Amino acid sequence: QVQLVESGGGLVQAGGSLRLSCAASGRTFSTYSMGWFRQVPGKEREFVVAIRWIGGDIYYADSVKGRFTISSDNAKATLYLQMNSLKPEDTAVYYCAAGPLGVFLKSTSQIAYWGQGTQVTVSS
């Protein structure tokens, strides 16, 4: 089992940047595939980015490609999401997610563990 705790959300103006962190505890960080999702009230949780340690593959949603960057510090068991050129439509609760190793976590049905979420609000 793994526990995920996000931090780093907040209020930022359009065009600004934020970096989210996801601290993992429990089982070894690298034994899971990891990713970030986001959710707006009244809508389904949507995929943002996923990383698969095997092969080091990364997959971004088209809506964030070129603006968001996922990275990790395995020694600290922490996943990061650097968000640049933020837009009002990026406003959402952002969730860190973990799932089976070797799987690209692009669907909520693949997720084994969720963090509690962190609010990101982008003002126009």
For every residue of the chain, DSSP letters joined together read -EEEEEE--EEEETT--EEEEEEEEES-GGGEEEEEEEE-TTS--EEEEEEETGGGEEEE-TTTTTTEEEEEEGGGTEEEEEE-S--GGG-EEEEEEEEETT----SGGG-SEE---EEEEEE-
**Which residue's structure tokens are 């009244």?**
42
pLDDT digits (tens, 9 = 90+) for 60-89: 999 999 999 999 998 899 999 999 999 999
pLDDT digits (tens, 9 = 90+) for 85-110: 999 999 999 999 999 988 889 999 99
pLDDT digits (tens, 9 = 90+) for 37-64: 999 999 999 999 999 877 778 999 999 9
